[in-house]
Amino acid sequence: MQHTRLGRTALRVSKICLGTMNFGPQTTEHDSFAIMDRALELGINFFDTANRYGGSLGAGATEEIIGRWFALGGGRREKVVLATKVYGPMHDWPNAGGLSARHIRQACDDSLRRLQTDHIDLYQMHHIDRSAPWDEVWQAMESLVAAGKITYVGSSNFAGWHIAQANEAAKSRNFLGLVSEQSLYNLAARTVELEVLPACRSYGVGVIPWSPLAGGALAGGLSDATTGRRSTLNDRWKALAPTIERYEKWCAARGEDPAAVALAWLLHQREVTSTIIGPRTMQQLDGAPLQALDIKLDADALKTLDEMFPGPGGRAPEAYAW
């Protein structure tokens, strides 16, 4: 496993991040434990979750599964760089969501209890809260850092402007500010290249792509008549079916798995620190993610992929004007 620094920090994380969204609703607790154990064996030390994860089992269920795994001991918690998130409502009572100082404090304490740990390594804001002043947000985060409950702060689904605004506000308070941003980013969804990636580069914020396989659209098997993938493609990606077929043929000619190539492409992007994978099974963990680390895409290969999946036209503001 390859490791790198998280953004401008000295913290070292694996280039593959274990996403846990499926733990509970899609993957049994027993199998989730096995996947996390295997991740550590592979050198994956970066685990991502969220307080809202749990699906039909209820918000918080995924954190509880991870907490019970930590409780098994054996250095599990000590080996993991643990990331979770705050924002979404945990119930329908007022102040149960958002980024008010009150909710941030309460949500952190609740996550710590479910995770059976005394600290969160990376506490991420799951979405921007346009009603929350940055002084309020940072005051709450500062208090959690001072109490030893969190170590770093990250964001998710922020615009470039939000990243700049947040870090300028943090700078005025002599606080470290955002060190990472989780964004939707894959070959078929490259909008973040306009402003989010440039903002992250400028502020030393590490980028952690989610949905790197476009909901499975880039995972291969589209033209396999036995899988029926064309009919089950998410509506978001159905229009790309011809392009994806071309992509799969190109990967086949290289003798490489489409899912592995898609992950490798992300890891070739300068701003990307680690890409999140969300395996439901052990096979999904042991397959493409490991292969991706060994794939080298030269300039010609990157150019071909750009032609198949053109980006938004360059960085802003050049993409908007000249």
Is the CB of residue 35 less than 8 Å from the CB of residue 47? no
- What whole-number distance in Å separates Cα of residue 320 and Cα of residue 313? 8
Long-range contacts of 75-80 (CB under 8 A, 24+ apart): 76/36, 76/40, 77/117, 79/40, 79/45, 80/40, 80/45, 80/46, 80/47, 80/121
Among the listed residues 53, 152, 185, 247, the single catalytic one is 53
Is the CB of residue 93 less than 8 Å from the CB of residue 103? no
Does 53 qualify as catalytic in the annotation?
yes
Is the CB of residue 102 less than 8 Å from the CB of residue 95? yes
Three-class DSSP category at 135: helix
- What whole-number distance in Å separates Cα of residue 17 and Cα of residue 193? 21
Q: Is 2 exposed, middle or buried (0-12, 13-18, 19+ CB in 10 A)?
A: exposed
| Side chain identity at residue 241, one-letter code | A
- What whole-number distance in Å separates Cα of residue 83 and Cα of residue 233? 30
Residue with tokens 């043929």: 249
Query: Which phi and psi angles does 195 have, rounded to 5°?
Result: -135, -30
Residue with tokens 């109490």: 147
Residues identified as active-site: 53
